[in-house]
Structure 1
Amino acid sequence: MSELESVLAHIDSHVEDALERLFEVLRIKSISTDPAFADQCRACAEWHAKDLASIGFKASARDTPGHPIVVGHDRSGNGHSVLFYGHYDVQPVDPLELWDHDPFAPFLETRADGSRAIRARGASDDKGQVMTFIEACRAWKAVTGKLPIPVSILLEGEEESGGVNLPPFLKANAGELRADVGLICDTSMWDPKTPAITTMLRGLCGEEIVVTGPDRDLHSGFYGSAAVNPNHVLARILADLRDADGRVTIPGFYDGVPELPEVLREQWEKLHFDPKAFLGAVGLSVPAGERGRTALEMIWSRPTCEVNGMGGGYQGAGFKTVIPSRASAKVSFRLVFDQDPHAIRAAFRDFVRARVPADCKVEFFEHGAGRAIRFPIDAPAFERTRQALTVEWGREAAYIGGGGSIPVTHELKSALGMDVILAGFALDDDRIHSPNEKYDLVSFHRGMRSWARILHSLASS
């Protein structure tokens, strides 16, 4: 039996032990956004530091102005080094009445079809995912006494609450943390049987605009048509943001947006994505967005402009005939490839100002910005990871895009100069950030096996 086969056999025979360790950390109420749980966040960080030390990592919980960051190193392996990133903090559990059980009392649920799932807050996002990697390291150490390659582990405690202390921590400790490649397990499978590596994530730019006309709400019978209505002004501006073909009309918006590389287009076609089922699951049937683009293109490789909220005037029960003094909207842009969020913000503001009448004024409020990121699928580490996943799951691992944003990927790239492999085992129905979060036992078990294979494969690069 080879070393890898022995490690995989060890994982298979110690799943119950791994589950108990996961349950221990799931019981810790590490809600980072609520100051009332600060002690629990520290307890979770210290739990991880102690656990990593127990398998030979030089580990500690490092203080920050917020919650601690856990850092661990094991240099016992040879060859290319990796930095694994995860987070130990979780989302709040509200509304508690929608949970079928105590969010911090983890248990293994057997479903009607015989499959089993771990139920608890953080089971999938991100404690269960983190422990798949740590358990793979534990198995390698138990069987061989060392890891195949040098491994560093970085566990953040504020991912769910903004992560403001991570960037300065990375910059201050860049020399210690820098590795040949980063690993993140905070993403999903393509489907329950098909593993995936996310190679591109969209950036984000958020803007709030407030249009003010008259100095107070006006009686529409006395002032209707004679006085400018901020609701009308704002509605026209928002309507102008897209043309009849679904393209965003802000000048320069598509600067830095190339066509999708043919190799990715071909791979995405093999995924047999069903746009009708995708939209049907949320009660829709007609594709919107850019005409002539596939749904996968639009959610992975094309930029968006979306109105996330808008309001003005009376919105309570009944009816009130007023011309509002103010109208506001929150608009977000998901960005791709080399789009500059600051240039997008400036162009959007110019676009709005050009459409505001002289009798109105407009104010803008920033709500964050981040660049998109993409990684080279032809890099050897990516292909070796894909091969390892393919062998473990018996299906060709897919290179996919991500419609959302994971800011830490850009931070690792900019502060440490590393490409990042995003290989996670979550499923779309894991209910992350929602009541009754779960993580399939298959995801946990085969996630451990997958990381064991990946570490072995990277040792050969």
Structure 2
Amino acid sequence: MEAIERHLKEHREDHLAQLKSLLSIPSISALSEHKGDVRHAAQFLSEALTEAGFENAEIVETAGHPVVYADWLNAPGKPTVLVYGHYDVQPVDPLHLWQSSPFEPDIRDNQIYARGASDDKGPTFMHIKALEAILKENGELPLNIKFCIEGEEEVGSAHLEATLEAHKAKFQADLVLISDTTMLAPDQPSICYGLRGLAACQIDLRTANSDLHSGLYGGAVPNAVHALVELLDTLHAPDGTITVDGFYDEVVELSPAERLEYEKLPHDDEAYRKSLDLPALHGEPGYSTLERLWARPTLELNGIYGGFQGEGTKTVIPNEAHAKITCRLVPDQDPNTVLDLIEAHVTKHAPVGSTVTLIRQEGGHPYLAPYDHPAIQLAAQAYTKAYGVQAVFTRMGGSIPVVETFSQLFHIPIVLMGFGLSDENFHAPNEHFSLDNFDKGLRTLCYYYLNLPTVLGNAPN
């Protein structure tokens, strides 16, 4: 390990220069004008994997943006790890809020600023460099490695599942390793063992066959905006509880042991409130803030629109109004079942004079791993060795649908080893990534890879 750590120190500037080159590519998967840039990023990674010593590097075509594959399969009898990451990034708007150009990486105060620095080019790149260091210094890897780096994560991984199914043998492994989650704090490494799922929909409410003059019709006909507000108010009780019949029926409650562990974590409600400039926190009664964030389901109104939106006044009674809703789901909630329940609720509570339609959108299942699995426990040991602080186990409130995809297709353990921080502005202006976590994260990954064959060999799939 000493030679590997020396290698990482000696090549640090080269690694950062390569990372800057990757971050300079505007691989925005949501915008068609950047289709060429997305492919450029895929080609960059394919070449970087080859230079690092991996074999069979190729760009796997999909119906959308490509997947980058590469492997090193020269450890017969040893387990195989599939490393997943994504090279696509979010749009950069609003551009004027960036302190430096989003695709001209800038290092300030030991942070590297660029779109994709934290989500997910930086962490994905770390796996390539950690394994390269082991390969260069030891002449071989202690286990077999495959890479799956996609270009559509930020737009829902629409074509990844079909690609994995079509090339199942190519991507088959004994464990999936992902670095697309966050640590609890800069000085508190953490292993995420649970993710919330997602169910999304849009509600369209209509009344008359057109907008109506408020003087000629006001007081005699229903107003679509009023009706929508009335309908949406039926989704929650004042205390934050979701009032959709059956919504909580399949929810698996936290175990007493998990609740006790969460109480030990370094979270301060008052500091959290102040950081958000909120007069008070709010949420489902009977649960702590961390429990609400990680292990309880939600139903959120993401947007409401209808009626006149322009400057000045327009005396109109709107005939349609719309709301966008997403639910974060926990084990054992099913996104389709949840949308069935919401559809039944809005149909039942449709205000007089209105017609309500629910349009189903994307969804993903929640994921929960047994955190006593040896491969996950080894991750905690790797963090502790690199950071000098005992790692803790957490869930994450966000969703990574691809985790459930890997779980369903391959039925193998999935380990989530994140190195980003929740305040690093991913999806927002001034995204950045801590170079302290870059350095310590490389050491963490090296320790993990070097010791994984022993524990994985004894771990049940």
- TM-score normalized with structure 1 length: 0.94
Q: Which residue does 1:40 correspond to in 2?
A: 37
- The counterpart of 2:72, out of the listed 74, 79, 88, is 74
Contact between 1:10 and 1:139, CA under 8 Å: does it hold in 2?
yes
Q: 1:21 to 1:351 in 2, by over 3 A?
A: same
Q: Which runs of 5+ in 1 are unaligned?
A: none
Q: Which residue does 1:64 correspond to in 2?
A: 62
**1:414 correspondence with 2:408:** yes
Q: Which residue does 2:364 correspond to in 1?
A: 370
**1:433 correspondence with 2:427:** yes
Residue 381 of structure 1 aligns with an amino acid whose one-letter code is A
State the shift of 1:358 in Å: 5.4
**1:338 correspondence with 2:336:** no
- The counterpart of 1:398, out of the listed 372, 384, 392, is 392
State the number of aligned residues: 453
Residue 75 of structure 1 aligns with an amino acid whose one-letter code is L
Q: Which residue does 1:14 correspond to in 2?
A: 11
Q: 1:240 to 1:192 in 2, by over 3 A?
A: same
Residue 8 of structure 2 aligns with an amino acid whose one-letter code is I
Instruction: Report the 3-state secondary structure (helix = DSSP H, G, I; strand = E; otherwise coil) of the residue aligned with 1:108.
Output: strand
The 5 Å alignment of 1:96-111 reads 96-109=95-108, 111=109
Task: Work out the CA distance in 2 between the residues paired with 1:310 and 1:197.
Answer: 36
Q: 1:376 to 1:363 in 2, by over 3 A?
A: same
Q: Which residue does 1:174 correspond to in 2?
A: 168
Which is further off, 222-231 or 126-135? Answer: 222-231
State the shift of 1:319 in Å: 3.2
Residue 106 of structure 1 aligns with an amino acid whose one-letter code is P
Contact between 2:231 and 2:349, CA under 8 Å: does it hold in 1?
yes
Task: Work out the CA distance in 2 between the residues paired with 1:57 and 1:67.
Answer: 22
- The counterpart of 2:20, out of the listed 23, 30, 40, is 23
Instruction: Report the 3-state secondary structure (helix = DSSP H, G, I; strand = E; otherwise coil) of the residue aligned with 2:421.
Output: coil
Q: Which residue does 1:153 correspond to in 2?
A: 147
State the shift of 1:382 in Å: 0.5
Contact between 1:337 and 1:374, CA under 8 Å: does it hold in 2?
yes
Q: Which residue does 2:440 correspond to in 1?
A: 446
- The counterpart of 1:119, out of the listed 109, 113, 122, is 113
Instruction: Report the 3-state secondary structure (helix = DSSP H, G, I; strand = E; otherwise coil) of the residue aligned with 1:304.
Output: coil
Residue 391 of structure 1 aligns with an amino acid whose one-letter code is K
Task: Work out the CA distance in 2 between the residues paired with 1:310 and 1:30.
Answer: 30
Contact between 1:200 and 1:401, CA under 8 Å: does it hold in 2?
yes
State the shift of 1:405 in Å: 0.7
Contact between 2:252 and 2:330, CA under 8 Å: does it hold in 1?
no
Q: Which runs of 5+ in 2 are unaligned?
A: 456-461
Contact between 1:98 and 1:435, CA under 8 Å: does it hold in 2?
yes
Q: Which residue does 2:450 correspond to in 1?
A: 456
**1:53 correspondence with 2:47:** no
Deviations 1:119-178 (A, max 9, x none): 222221111111111111011011101112111111111112332121111111112212
Task: Work out the CA distance in 1 between the residues paired with 2:265 and 2:318.
Answer: 49
State the shift of 1:376 in Å: 1.0
Task: Work out the CA distance in 2 between the residues paired with 1:93 and 1:242.
Answer: 34
Q: Which residue does 1:327 correspond to in 2?
A: 321
Task: Work out the CA distance in 1 between the residues paired with 2:392 and 2:438.
Answer: 19
Q: Which residue does 1:235 correspond to in 2?
A: 229
Task: Work out the CA distance in 2 between the residues paired with 1:106 and 1:233.
Answer: 48
State the shift of 1:357 in Å: 4.3
Instruction: Report the 3-state secondary structure (helix = DSSP H, G, I; strand = E; otherwise coil) of the residue aligned with 1:246.
Output: coil
Contact between 1:18 and 1:135, CA under 8 Å: does it hold in 2?
yes
Residue 37 of structure 1 aligns with an amino acid whose one-letter code is H
Contact between 2:52 and 2:128, CA under 8 Å: does it hold in 1?
no
Task: Work out the CA distance in 2 between the residues paired with 1:149 and 1:270.
Answer: 36
Task: Work out the CA distance in 1 between the residues paired with 2:305 and 2:122.
Answer: 40
Contact between 1:120 and 1:437, CA under 8 Å: does it hold in 2?
yes
Contact between 1:178 and 1:418, CA under 8 Å: does it hold in 2?
no
Task: Work out the CA distance in 2 between the residues paired with 1:67 and 1:340.
Answer: 28
**1:219 correspondence with 2:217:** no
Residue 105 of structure 1 aligns with an amino acid whose one-letter code is E
State the shift of 1:448 in Å: 0.8
Task: Work out the CA distance in 1 between the residues paired with 2:303 and 2:111.
Answer: 36
State the shift of 1:232 in Å: 2.8
State the shift of 1:250 in Å: 1.0
Residue 74 of structure 2 aligns with an amino acid whose one-letter code is S
State the shift of 1:215 in Å: 2.1
Deviations 1:349-387 (A, max 9, x none): 111111224532112222211111111101111111111
Deviations 1:91-128 (A, max 9, x none): 2223333222232222322x3xxxx1112222211111
Residue 225 of structure 1 aligns with an amino acid whose one-letter code is G
Task: Work out the CA distance in 2 between the residues paired with 1:41 and 1:328.
Answer: 33
Residue 323 of structure 1 aligns with an amino acid whose one-letter code is I
Instruction: Report the 3-state secondary structure (helix = DSSP H, G, I; strand = E; otherwise coil) of the residue aligned with 2:426.
Output: coil
Residue 27 of structure 2 aligns with an amino acid whose one-letter code is S
Q: Which residue does 2:345 correspond to in 1?
A: 351
Residue 200 of structure 2 aligns with an amino acid whose one-letter code is G
Q: Which residue does 1:301 correspond to in 2?
A: 295
Q: Which residue does 1:266 correspond to in 2?
A: 260
Which is further off, 5-14 or 343-352? Answer: 5-14
Residue 249 of structure 1 aligns with an amino acid whose one-letter code is T
Q: 1:232 to 1:383 in 2, by over 3 A?
A: same
- TM-score normalized with structure 2 length: 0.94
Task: Work out the CA distance in 1 between the residues paired with 2:237 and 2:37.
Answer: 50
State the shift of 1:457 in Å: 2.3
Contact between 2:205 and 2:322, CA under 8 Å: does it hold in 1?
yes
